[in-house]
Amino acid sequence: MTLSATQGCGNLTVSGNVAAANSYLYVWSFLPSPSFQSGMNLDPITFDTAGNHPISVAVTGVNGCQSTAQQIVTVHHQPVADFTFDNACFGETTSFLDASTAHSSTDITGWYWQFGDGGISYESNPEHDYAFTGDYNVSLTVTTPQCSASTSEFVTVNPLPTVSAMADVVSGCSPLDVEFSAEGSLAASFDWTIDGTNVSGQTVNAAIETAIGQSDAHSVSVEVTSAAGCVATDEILITAYAAAEAQISPAANAGCAPYGVSIENESQGAIAYEWFADGSFITTNSVWDGVLENTSNTIQSQTIELVAHTVQGCNDTTSTTIQVYPEADFTFDLPNDTACSPLELTMPIMEDVNSFTWNFGGGNTSAEQAPTLLLENTNGGLMGTSITFTGISVFGCLDSHTETVY
């Protein structure tokens, strides 16, 4: 017996014939159904399952004797060819990924790619660069030790979009308010990256900030994506100069006039300073020690302002308010002519005083209003007596005044 094929892949169709002298009856047996045929020729039968399939023929001679022959037809598992690819964009490498499968009893051992532009590859997952846009018929043939399979698919190499990034202002003091815009062709979406933040839109707004000590250069990028998934990017450089941070710390926020004020300058990022008191310029020193006066009879609030300057003019201003209490003034008058002993004096009534003490010397004091003092000179010469008034005003301010009587 002779068969047209004894090995194949997937669906295998087999036919055959038998040659025997002095024979008149020929019976073929096989699977699948119809399982039997008669005659010298075996009509084509198809095996669609992998495995070994026996075919037998029984021949009966004219003398009644019978002989049998058999052959085995082997059908191997055929792989399924398949592949995927990423977006094919002009000027960029296109990656192809083999997605073929094979039966667990065998492995894919060979790959043959044809990229449609004359290029080929024998790698499992190749990359390819197309020189022009357009449609390319890409085919893949995979092989196992016994079988092969092929598939093909059209790949469209798309043109890249174009983009140009713009800004309404490119330099200034931090925080710098900037309106970004982009123009381009084939752009379906616009995605900006601004200081690590992602924002979408053809026109976007952002405040560019630079902290003291950081670089003032900020690279802002926009990425556009076409409807085909192709990408283009552009960048624009924004310079946001760090602003000074004006900070002051007075030793105290209230005191009695004349109030000696010491204010510590804790500013950062500045190269020059200006101080103002109630709007009037005082000094350009980095620190300020001054005296605040209040000759009225009410509390005055005085504003101390510091302007911190940078080279780029990114200045900052801060201020503090200091309460200045009226200056305590407890001066008084006593007779300034030489008087005769004994001399009786009545002290004046002192106003706007919260607490006080009269000191007449020699341990003689009084806390009364308008006390009377009798002075006697028993020494025979000119006698001088110092009288001191020490008081605390209603605002808590201290003053002392002394007069001498002869």
270 and 320 in a single domain? The answer is yes
Q: What is the pLDDT of residues 332-382, one digit of tens each?
A: 998 777 778 898 999 999 988 999 999 998 899 999 999 999 988 888 788
Q: What is the pLDDT of residue 31?
A: 84
In sequence order, the β-bridge partners of residue 346 are: 372
Q: What is the pLDDT of residues 2-47, one digit of tens each?
A: 999 999 999 999 999 999 888 999 999 998 777 899 999 999 999 9
Greater confidence, 165 or 250? 165
Going from the C-alpha of 248 to that of each of 143, 263, 319, the distances in angstroms are 81, 7, 7
Which of 215, 241, 267 marks a domain boundary? 241
Residue 45 lies in domain: 2-76
Q: What is the pLDDT of residues 108-159, one digit of tens each?
A: 999 999 999 999 999 999 999 999 999 999 999 999 999 999 999 999 999 9
237 and 255 in a single domain? The answer is no
CATH (domain of 359): 2.60.40.10
6 and 71 in a single domain? The answer is yes
The reply to whether 102 falls in a domain is no
Which of 271, 291, 325 marks a domain boundary? 325
Using a cut of 0.75, tell me whether the model's pTM lies above it: no
Q: What is the pLDDT of residue 34?
A: 78
* Domain count for the chain: 5
237 and 170 in a single domain? The answer is yes
The reply to whether 335 falls in a domain is no
124 and 66 in a single domain? The answer is no
Q: What is the pLDDT of residues 197-236, one digit of tens each?
A: 999 999 999 999 999 999 999 999 999 999 999 999 999 9
214 and 256 in a single domain? The answer is no
174 and 151 in a single domain? The answer is no
Confidence of residue 251 (pLDDT cuts 50, 70, 90): confident
The reply to whether 330 falls in a domain is no
120 and 150 in a single domain? The answer is yes
The reply to whether 337 falls in a domain is no
Which of 293, 325, 357 marks a domain boundary? 325
